[in-house]
Amino acid sequence: MNVKTPSKLEKILAAGHLAVTSECGPPRGTDPEVIVKKANLIKDHVDAINITDNQTSVTRMSSLAACIHLKLLGLEPVLQMVTRDRNRIALQSDILGAASFDIHNILCLSGDHQSFGDCPQGQNVHDIDSMQLLQTVRHMRDEGKFLGGDEIKRPPQMFAGAAANPFADPFEIRVPRLAKKIAAGAEFIQTQCIYNLDKFEEWMRLARERGLLEKVSILAGLTPMKSAGMARYMKNRVPGMDVPDELIKRLADTPKEKQAQEGIDVCVESIQRLKEVEGIRGFHIMAIEWEEKVPEIVERGGLYPRPEVD
Amino acid sequence: MIVADKKPIEEIIEEIKDNQNILILGCNECVTVCEAGGKKEVGVLASALRMYFLNNGKEVKIDEVTLERQCDHEYLEEIREGIDKYDAVVSLACGVGVQFMAEKYHATPIYPGVNTCFLGATEERGLWTERCQACGQCILARTGGICPVSRCAKRVLNGPCGGSTSGHCEINKEVVCAWQLIIERLTNLGRLDDYEKLAPVKDWSSDRAGGPRKVIREDVQQ
């Protein structure tokens, strides 16, 4: 088993298991119990837990602090880091800080624009972009050096990941863009929520043909729908989201009180179908403020129990 | 050119209301082209101010002058003779002109009459859009002649980000995704392979980050 970091997620993937990750959003306050509670709902059913970084540009407890809370519980966090709010000094500094707590996974993102959040009049930084953050993480880890060239004493050991949206426009560059992220240093990919399975499978096919799937572990991103209303909202209001009309119809045709269960069923069916897709290495289940449903999805998806690795 | 937009007249009045002799000073360059601070706009603002002061029973003398440029010593010298009779000047030049005036005429208060917005172009009459942020290290050769620094809301150098939908930016459906344009342009040029070249971490020291900038050209200095 060839691994480069102490990451449990990396070890699970290297052992050939289908990995399962999920995510928790930190609270809009200082109570650590919020994150502990969410984590406890899912900890036995996932291998690692992403902590979002001020998602949708709404100010929250820092991702790093919340990751430390998980680490103190003995759990495996994935530190999400966006390039919107920090320059290269702060990003490198936070990478060191995270690594000092043995946080071994990082997901490099650009972040939603601040106009969506609670500080639309704020500056954004974008000193480097998400690909350059990947390069930075790999440079710090593999070369043991800062961007400025100085040596790092005890370099960070982080398994480097990126997001990919197979559904964003323009479609013709979705696979070249994946190739670019791999070239920048991505070792795992957590995709945008998949609802259009045909289009996703097409993206996987093109990536496979280019030989990209041997170089990166793709975790298929899934978010269960709570209602037909949520499905419509995702389709119409969330940038880069592809929700087929048949799915909206399926939910809308279900009695209102049963729509949430139908959404879970859809999610489980997606796992069952995508498990058969060559090159899928795991699942990233983003049950937004619905963490209690993750165990059911994982169990019914045939992904339980989770494997043990050293 | 430098694109500016008129300041609300209430804001200008608030600054100058206690003065008796005011000069409205236009500029014949960029702000004339973007119809914010040329001779015409000087006339319109002066008339509106005269009306305001008249209606408020105040006797205020307002003069109008438009210089060829306010970012040039030579042209600013043209008003030296009469400058002392004014107790305020409202400059309708860009921020450069306002500051150059203030540097030249130490005893005269200078107020900005426009908001300086960006480096841009006239798309059509009444519509100006940004094209450049003067980062000091032009990368247009690599991006098909379309600038992600000025035209991408996240100035992503390896774009597009996940928020690009149907060719539009996540911040607003009216905003075209710069990376969509770059990809279309590279496609048209038969250079889409270039898309996969990773743009390196940018040196922003020639941008605002490096502090006030200067260009020194010894070959043209006298």
Q: Is B16 helix (H, G, I), strand (E, B) or coil?
A: helix
Please report the pLDDT score of residue A94 as a whole number.
98
B-chain residues near A88 (CB < 8 A) = 201
Q: Which residue of B has its CA nearest to A129?
A: B156
Query: What per-residue confidence (pLDDT) applies to B162?
Result: 87
CATH number of B2-118: 3.40.50.2300
Mean of the pLDDT values across residues A198-203? 96
pLDDT tens profile A220-230 = 999 999 999 99
The predicted structure's pLDDT at residue B27: 98
pLDDT at A172: 84
pLDDT(B163) > 90: no
Interface test with B, best of A87, A134, A167, A169 (most B CBs within 10 A): A169
pLDDT above 70 (res A118): yes
Q: Is the pLDDT at B33 greater than 70, yes or no? A: yes
Please check whether residue A56 touches B, CB under 8 A.
Answer: no
Is the CB of B196 less than 8 angstroms away from the CB of A179?
yes
Q: Give how far Cα B49 sits from Cα of A39, A50, B23, B115, Å.
A: 64, 59, 11, 18
Please provide the CATH number assigned to the domain covering A8-164: 3.20.20.220
Is the pLDDT assigned to residue A283 strictly greater than 80?
Answer: yes
> What was the pLDDT predicted at A230?
96
Distance of residue A170 Cα from the nearest chain B Cα, in angstroms: 7
Residue A171 has pLDDT above 90, yes or no: no
- Look at residue A240 in the predicted model and tell me its pLDDT: 81
Could you read off the pLDDT of A37-63 as tens digits, one per residue?
Answer: 999 999 999 999 999 999 999 999 999
Q: pLDDT, tens digit, for every residue of A131-157?
A: 999 999 999 999 999 999 999 999 999
Q: Does pLDDT of B171 surpass 80? A: yes
Q: Where are the beta strands (DSSP E) in chain A?
A: 19-24, 48-51, 77-82, 105-109, 159-164, 188-193, 217-222, 280-285
From chain B, pick out residues whose CB is under 8 angstroms from the CB of A115: 153, 171
Mean pLDDT score, A77-105: 98
ipTM at complex level: 0.94
Which stretch of A224-233, B10-19, B145-154, B166-175 has the lowest confidence by average pLDDT?
Answer: B166-175
A120 close to B (CB below 8 A): no
C-beta atoms of A169 and B164 within 8 A: yes
Average pLDDT across chain B, whole number: 96
Question: In this model, does residue B178 exceed pLDDT 90?
Answer: yes
pLDDT at B200: 95
Exposed/middle/buried for residue A17 (C-beta within 10 Å: 0-12, 13-18, 19+):
middle
Q: Any CB–CB contact under 8 A between A127 and chain B?
A: yes
Tell me the shortest Cα–Cα distance from A102 to chain B, in angstroms: 27
Q: From chain B, pick out residues whose CB is under 8 angstroms from the CB of A133.
A: none
Residue B175, SS3 per DSSP: strand
Cα–Cα distance between B30 and B72 in angstroms, integer?
13
Across B108-127, average pLDDT: 97
Locate A209 and state its tokens. Answer: 């043909």
- Count of alpha carbons within 13 angstroms of residue A253, beta-carbon side: 6
Question: What pLDDT, on a 0 to 100 scale, did the predictor assign at position A39?
Answer: 97
Average pLDDT rounded to a whole number, residues B30-43: 98
Provide mean pLDDT across the span B101-121. 97
Which residue's entry shows tokens 């290495």? Answer: A281
Q: For residue B27, report the phi and psi dihedrals to the nearest 5 degrees.
A: -135, 135
Residue A168: the pLDDT is 85
**pLDDT value of residue A60:** 98
pLDDT of A81 strictly over 80 = yes
With CA atoms as reference, report the closest residue to B94 among B11, B38, B16, B151.
B38
A159 and A9 Cβ atoms separated by less than 8 Å: yes
pLDDT band at A1 (very low <50, low <70, confident <90, very high): low
Question: How do the domains of chain B map onto residue ranges?
Answer: 2-118, 133-210
A238 touches chain B (CB under 8 A): no
- Whole-number Å distance between alpha carbons of A231 and A262: 12
